[in-house]
Amino acid sequence: MLLNGSTFTSVHDVANLSALIEEGLRVKAAPLAWSNIGRHKTLGLIFFNPSLRTRLSSQRAAWNLGMNTLVVNVGTESWKIEMRDGVVMDGETVEHIKEGAAVIGAYTDILGVRAFATLTDKHADIGENVLSKVQQYACKPLVSLESALRHPLQSFADILTIEEVRREQRMKHRPKVVLTWAPHPKALPQAVANSFAEWMLRADVDLVITHPEGYALDEAFTQGAYITQCQDEALECADFVYAKNWSAFQGNDYGKVLLYDTSWTITAEKMRRTRNGKFMHCLPTRRNVEVADDVLDSSASLVIRQAENRVVAMQTVLKCILENL
């Protein structure tokens, strides 16, 4: 059993992380070796927010296992969903999540759900309001496609990427992995950063997090990491540099952009501080804002490989769930 149950919403659902990574590498080596395991099964993909990589990689992963995929873009294709309990629905919402989730659950065998943080209602975000309601009412195995707090498929793809590079480079030492805040013109969720920290802290690496003042992440995700506000210090001798923007988490600044400081942009110049370090980003990325062209276009960049490994991550998770259906 690689997962604790038939849910994949955080690293806490993983029973054995190193075994899951090995399974991922096996899946990557032979993506069509289990092409009948999902035959006549349907993966539902519910997007409360837009997606590119996630939808495409999930569909490809499902097809590699013989599954069909049902895509629902809530709000654009469908109608507005009511999330509150006990409300008199005489306004704009047309269907309650209780029925919506139950019905989609009835038509599918496994559900994937994307529901970003609102960045305005911290209480709802911390409670994973949408994800937990879908899970409660759909009554089907659930895979998070990024929730308010986490993006576990991305983190799984990231750890697979790090593991691949480590083996290819025959890296003998415990890798130094740096998660660095990067500037961005818009307010973004903390999910990718939270999740990356949470996974790295369970992996065989040293995690350093660096961000400007005011950008501390929730300690629930970062406890155990070395945290510094000096990016240069963090980058020193790094093997992997993971750049990501997030908006403020702490206190009343929740969801706000406190700073737009391009001295935090990752450049080739900065990468020279690392130990021939590799650059990582979950994509999409703002070129020359989060990271300079000269990094993304160099051989140090792992971003496309990370994206490729999204198929592997999803396929491995689906395979685990299908084997226990």
Contacts with its own copies, residue ranges (CB under 8 A)? 32, 35, 40, 42, 44, 50-53, 56-57, 59-60, 63-64, 68, 70, 72-73, 76-79, 82, 85-91, 94-96, 98-100, 102-104, 106-108, 185, 283-289, 293, 296-297, 303-304, 307-308, 311
Unique residue bearing structure tokens 């210090």: 233
Strand partners, 287: 291
CB of 278 to its own copies, least distance (A): 16
Q: Which is nearer to its own copies, 12 or 287 (CB)?
A: 287
Q: Which is nearer to its own copies, 19 or 283 (CB)?
A: 283
**Cα radius of gyration rounded to whole Å, the chain:** 20
CB of 325 to its own copies, least distance (A): 14
For the chain, where are the E strands, in sequence order? 7-8, 42-47, 68-73, 81-82, 95-96, 110-114, 142-144, 176-181, 206-210, 226-228, 240-244, 278-280
Q: Which is nearer to its own copies, 210 or 309 (CB)?
A: 309
The angle subtended at Cα 227 by Cα 225 and Cα 228, nearest 5°, is 160
CB of 12 to its own copies, least distance (A): 28
CA proximity to 278, closest of 200, 193, 177: 177
Which amino acid belongs to residue 296?
Answer: L
CB of 200 to its own copies, least distance (A): 23
> Residues 6 or more apart from 175 whose CB is under 8 A from it?
162, 166, 205, 206, 239, 240
Q: Which is nearer to its own copies, 224 or 284 (CB)?
A: 284
CA 128 vs. chain centroid, Å, equals 15
CB of 38 to its own copies, least distance (A): 12
Q: Which is nearer to its own copies, 103 or 171 (CB)?
A: 103
Q: Which is nearer to its own copies, 6 or 42 (CB)?
A: 42
Contact, 227 vs 240, CB < 8 A?
no
CB of 286 to its own copies, least distance (A): 4
